[in-house]
């Protein structure tokens, strides 16, 4: 199957290369023919000239005429070569542009295929879960506890669907540049503390959360967007790590920036995959990733939102294993003006 897909993609690329090579080769061939013809034409002209002026061919006037012939011949050759080179240069530029369009088209195709595969799975499994829970509650007489458990499961699946739809809507809005952002001071320390409290409360997946956040760190941005950034990163840290492992949430003030780190001890990301993880619909092809649910939209949204909030996000490998997502936001101007001393993390909570 994979081989068939590969052939399907390589066929147009091969045809494209064959065409380009053919046009290049024929241009060089035509240049060669024209130069050759030019040579012959002038050789004939010179031979005719010698025939016509056999007696006085050594006269100064005729020597000058012959030199003029040679000059003309060289000028014509240079013209042919010059025009040929310009043609080939334009052809080269055109080919590069077309090649990059083909690449984009192939990438789009891959993204659509990934998207359809993951979206059908993402929609189907919570829907099946909800259906089973509702049918069981409806058809059987259950005790209150069991009923509650089933309804909670259904609720969890509904939330999953809602998150998926929210992510899709967010990605579509980002694409259409239709997101309205507020630009207010946001207390990042409070936001991270309240998020980690919430994660602790619903710590169904049994992770240890370690919070190391300097108090009252401020960032200019949109509260909803920043919340979405951190929940996406923490959700991933949970999703791609083992039970009982630790997830670190850190935030510090540096000279001109606020550094935030979400770190896990999970499966990590192979070096060759790292540049692609922020692409839309990109999911790593490993068995571990395939086992987990996801659409490949989370990190795309995170990166876009971080950049819209004038920040930056980078990935680093955690040692001995796991991932570190580091976010850097500019410190608000008023905070720089106050010239605060560098604050060492004071609030260290283990939740």
Which chain residues interact with ligand ADP by CB under 6 A? 236-237, 240, 264, 266-269, 277, 282-284, 289, 294-300, 323
Smallest gap from Cβ 266 to ligand ADP, in A, equals: 5
Q: CB–CB of 161/127 below 8 Å?
A: yes
Q: Distances in Å between the alpha carbon of 336 and those of 2, 125, 258? A: 55, 49, 11
Q: What single DSSP character describes residue 273?
A: T
- Smaller CB distance to ligand ADP: residue 48 or 292? 292
- Smaller CB distance to ligand ADP: residue 237 or 253? 237
Smallest gap from Cβ 14 to ligand ADP, in A, equals: 31
Smallest gap from Cβ 165 to ligand ADP, in A, equals: 14
- Residue nearest to ligand ADP as judged by C-beta position: 294
Smallest gap from Cβ 284 to ligand ADP, in A, equals: 3
SS3 state at 295: coil
**Measured distance CA(251)–CA(325) in Å, rounded:** 12
Determine how many CB atoms are found less than 10 A away from the CB of residue 192: 23
Contacts of 161 (CB under 8 A, 6+ apart): 123, 126, 127
**Measured distance CA(196)–CA(262) in Å, rounded:** 11
- Smaller CB distance to ligand ADP: residue 153 or 289? 289
Q: CB–CB of 229/192 below 8 Å?
A: no
Q: For residue 255, which of 327, 316, 343, 315 has the smallest C-alpha distance?
A: 343
- Smaller CB distance to ligand ADP: residue 253 or 284? 284
- Smaller CB distance to ligand ADP: residue 60 or 271? 271
The radius of gyration computed from the CA coordinates of the chain, to the nearest angstrom, equals 34
Cite the beta strand spans of 218-336 per DSSP E: 218-221, 246-253, 257-263, 312-317, 323-330
| Backbone phi, psi, residue 232, to 5° | -60, -45
- Smaller CB distance to ligand ADP: residue 229 or 335? 229
- Smaller CB distance to ligand ADP: residue 77 or 111? 111
Smallest gap from Cβ 240 to ligand ADP, in A, equals: 3
Q: For residue 321, which of 237, 228, 229 has the smallest C-alpha distance?
A: 237
Helix (H) or strand (E) holding 350: strand 347-350
- Smaller CB distance to ligand ADP: residue 217 or 284? 284
Smallest gap from Cβ 323 to ligand ADP, in A, equals: 4
Smallest gap from Cβ 169 to ligand ADP, in A, equals: 15
Smallest gap from Cβ 275 to ligand ADP, in A, equals: 12
């Amino acid at each position: 199957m994979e081989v068939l897909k590969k052939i399907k993609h390589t066929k147009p690329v091969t045809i494209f290369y064959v065409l380009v090579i053919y046009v290049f080769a024929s241009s060089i061939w035509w240049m060669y023919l024209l130069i050759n013809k030019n040579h012959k034409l002038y050789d004939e002209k010179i031979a005719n000239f010698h025939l016509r002026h056999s007696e006085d061919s050594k006269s100064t006037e005729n020597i000058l005429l012959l030199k003029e012939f040679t000059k003309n011949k060289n000028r014509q050759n240079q013209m042919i070569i010059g025009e040929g080179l310009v043609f080939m240069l334009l052809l080269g530029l055109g080919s590069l542009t077309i090649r990059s369009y083909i690449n984009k088209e192939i990438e789009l195709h891959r993204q659509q295929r990934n998207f359809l595969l993951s979206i059908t799975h993402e929609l189907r499994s919570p829907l099946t879960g909800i259906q089973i829970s509702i049918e069981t509650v409806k058809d059987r007489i259950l005790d209150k506890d069991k009923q509650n458990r089933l309804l909670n499961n259904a609720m969890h699946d509904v939330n999953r669907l809602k998150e998926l739809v929210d992510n899709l809507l967010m990605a579509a809005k980002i694409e259409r540049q239709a997101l309205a952002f507020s630009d207010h001071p946001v207390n990042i320390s409070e936001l991270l503390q309240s998020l980690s409290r919430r994660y602790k409360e619903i710590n169904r997946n049994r992770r240890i959360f370690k919070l190391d956040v300097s108090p009252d760190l401020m960032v200019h941005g949109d509260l909803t967007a920043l919340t979405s950034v951190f929940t996406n990163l923490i959700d991933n840290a949970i999703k791609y790590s083992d039970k009982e492992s630790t997830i670190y949430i850190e935030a510090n003030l540096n000279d001109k920036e606020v550094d935030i780190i979400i770190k896990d001890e999970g499966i990590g990301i192979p070096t060759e995959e790292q540049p692609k993880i922020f692409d839309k619909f990109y999911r790593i092809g490993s068995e571990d990733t395939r086992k987990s649910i996801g659409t490949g939209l989370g990190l795309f949204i995170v990166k876009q939102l971080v950049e819209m909030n004038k920040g930056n996000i980078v990935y680093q490998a955690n040692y001995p294993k796991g991932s570190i997502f580091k976010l850097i936001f500019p410190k608000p101007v008023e905070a720089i003006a106050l010239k605060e001393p560098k604050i060492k993390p004071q609030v260290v909570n283990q939740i």
